[in-house]
């Protein structure tokens, strides 16, 4: 990518675009997107709706909108924001301006939650909005996004495209990869990959490693669901939720290293028992409610509650797992996000 010049900076002091935001039930709201060398701002004319520094902008992509509909653009910051553009030329201008600003700031380091700093690049281009994510090495013609967001745990990235997370610390952690774990046995398989019981070689701790094939994630258009699952696991710490300890990637796979919960699925125990005693059923229900209440307090809806997604640990307590259908329904600035998708597991959905 060519290096931006000071002339670019002078020409792009600030650029403003009039766009339309679609909300629930087809309602439309006028918004203004202002791009500058310091960041991106969304206003309704008089009030700033949200604002982010340039280094917090993960990408901007054109979204397929259908014949006869206005061109659409998705901006990914800490949340994704999708707008209708006034014209194709306006959309292309927005993409061009943000890309040039990203080149102006591409040498700036980004402070991680771990106290270290890291270099980042921004994804700007055409394609499915779900492609704007922390998943690199994907489809041809798409910029690989090598910058990760700070979450509950700090993350470190390497030049080889491998991204690893570690606990919060003032110093940088060693970059992790698959070779840092010994695979013990396969404990689950699915359409995207498998879950393996692993042992971390340096401290001998046992975890469950979820290994996802990028090709399948892209093919089934599950990039956004996968990213949301990772982000929620990173941001949530609760005794009745499975916790994410590390996440990293190679050119063809994604890895999520989580708690290994050795008691098995609640479904397995219910099937063997036929029926739980009332006191035990109340115990499990209470812990599930506490876990869901914690998620709701963080504006997260789970959307796939079933016995197969509830694990039991060695002490008999529950752990809710599998956040692939979960959704953050309010962004960091308090703006509501719609949740109209019909989803879940048919046998366990409300009538």
Query: For residue 346, with 0-12 CB atoms within 10 Å meaning exposed, 13-18 middle and 19 or more buried, which class applies?
Result: exposed
Nearest 10 degrees: Cα torsion 333, 28, 337, 114: -40
Q: Is 63 helix (H, G, I), strand (E, B) or coil?
A: strand
**Distance, CA of 337 to chain centre:** 15
Phi and psi torsions of 139, nearest 5°: -80, 155
* Spatial distance between the Cα atoms of 228 and 221, rounded to a whole number of angstroms: 13
CATH superfamily of 266-348: Transferase(Phosphotransferase) domain 1 (1.10.510.10)
Range(s) of the chain covered by CATH 1.10.510.10? 266-348
Range(s) of the chain covered by CATH 3.30.200.20? 171-259
Contacts of 177 by beta carbon, 8 Å cutoff, 6+ apart: 162, 164, 248, 250
145 has a pLDDT exceeding 60 = no
Site of tokens 């060695």: 314
* Spatial distance between the Cα atoms of 214 and 249, rounded to a whole number of angstroms: 9
Q: Which of 324, 309, 342 is CA-nearest to residue 191?
A: 324
Compute the mean pLDDT over every residue in the chain, rounded to the nearest whole number.
74
pLDDT-based confidence at residue 16 (cuts at 50, 70, 90): confident
Q: Is 214 helix (H, G, I), strand (E, B) or coil?
A: helix
Q: Which long-range contacts link 183-187 to residues 24+ away (Cβ below 8 Å)?
A: 183/209
Q: Which long-range contacts link 33-41 to residues 24+ away (Cβ below 8 Å)?
A: 33/75, 33/83, 33/94, 35/94, 35/97, 35/98, 35/101, 36/12, 36/101, 37/9, 37/12, 37/13, 37/101, 37/104, 37/105, 40/75, 40/77, 40/98
Question: Is 210 annotated in some ligand binding site?
Answer: yes
Q: Which of 246, 226, 258, 240 is CA-nearest to residue 319?
A: 240
* Spatial distance between the Cα atoms of 79 and 342, rounded to a whole number of angstroms: 21
* Residues that are catalytic: 304
DSSP 127: S
pLDDT tens-digit readout, 154-201: 343 333 334 444 433 334 456 889 999 999 999 988 778 899 999 999
309 has a pLDDT exceeding 70 = yes
Token pair for residue 177?
């990869």
What does R_g of the chain's alpha carbons equal in angstroms? 22
Q: N- to C-terminal Cα distance for the chain?
A: 53
Token pair for residue 332?
């960091």
Range(s) of the chain covered by CATH 2.30.29.30? 6-104
Contacts of 13 by beta carbon, 8 Å cutoff, 6+ apart: 36, 37
Q: What is the pLDDT of residue 240?
A: 96
pLDDT tens-digit readout, 85-128: 888 888 888 888 877 766 654 433 333 333 333 334 444 554 43
* Spatial distance between the Cα atoms of 173 and 10, rounded to a whole number of angstroms: 39
Q: Answer for the pair 62, 73: CB distance below 8 angstroms, yes or no.
A: yes
pLDDT tens-digit readout, 252-303: 899 999 999 999 999 999 999 999 999 999 999 999 999 999 999 988 999 8
CATH architecture of the domain with range 6-104: Roll (2.30)
66 has a pLDDT exceeding 80 = no
% pLDDT > 70, the chain: 64
**Distance, CA of 46 to chain centre:** 31
Mean pLDDT is lowest, of 129-138, 237-246, 323-332, for 129-138
Pairing label, strands 59-63, 123-126: parallel
Signed CA dihedral, 195, 344, 330, 236: sign only: negative
pTM, two decimals, is 0.52
CATH 3.40.250.10 fits 171-259, yes or no: no
């Amino acid at each position: 990518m060519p290096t931006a010049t000071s002339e670019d900076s002078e020409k792009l002091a600030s650029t403003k675009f009039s766009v339309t935001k679609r909300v629930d039930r087809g309602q439309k709201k006028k918004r203004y997107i202002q791009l500058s060398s310091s960041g991106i701002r969304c206003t309704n004319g008089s009030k700033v709706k949200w604002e982010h520094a340039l280094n917090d902008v993960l990408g901007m992509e054109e979204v397929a909108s259908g014949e006869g509909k206005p061109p659409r653009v998705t901006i990914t910051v800490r949340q994704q924001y999708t707008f209708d553009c006034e014209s194709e030329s306006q959309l292309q201008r927005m993409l061009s301006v943000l890309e040039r600003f990203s080149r102006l700031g591409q040498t700036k380091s980004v402070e991680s939650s771990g106290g270290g700093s890291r270099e980042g690049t921004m994804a700007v281009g055409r394609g499915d909005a779900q492609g704007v994510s922390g998943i690199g090495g994907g489809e041809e013609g798409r910029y690989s996004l090598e910058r990760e967001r700070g979450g509950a745990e700090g993350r470190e990235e390497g030049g080889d495209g491998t991204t690893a997370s570690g606990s919060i610390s003032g110093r940088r952690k060693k970059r992790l990869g698959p070779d840092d774990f010994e695979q013990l046995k396969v404990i689950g398989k699915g359409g995207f990959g498998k879950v393996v019981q692993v042992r971390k070689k340096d401290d001998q701790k046992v975890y469950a490693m979820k290994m996802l094939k990028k090709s399948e994630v892209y093919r089934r258009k599950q990039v956004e669901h996968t990213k949301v699952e990772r982000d929620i696991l990173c941001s949530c710490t609760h005794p009745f939720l499975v916790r994410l300890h590390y996440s990293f990637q190679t050119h063809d796979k994604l890895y999520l290293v989580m708690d290994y919960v050795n008691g098995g699925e609640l479904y397995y125990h219910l099937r063997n028992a036929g029926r739980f005693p009332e006191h035990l059923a109340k115990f499990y229900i209470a812990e599930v409610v506490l876990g869901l209440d914690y998620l709701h307090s963080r504006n997260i809806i789970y959307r796939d509650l079933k016995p197969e997604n509830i694990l039991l640990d060695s002490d008999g307590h529950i752990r809710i797992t599998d956040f692939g259908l979960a959704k953050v329904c309010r962004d960091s600035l308090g703006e509501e996000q719609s949740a109209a998708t019909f989803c879940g597991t048919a046998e366990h959905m409300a009538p």
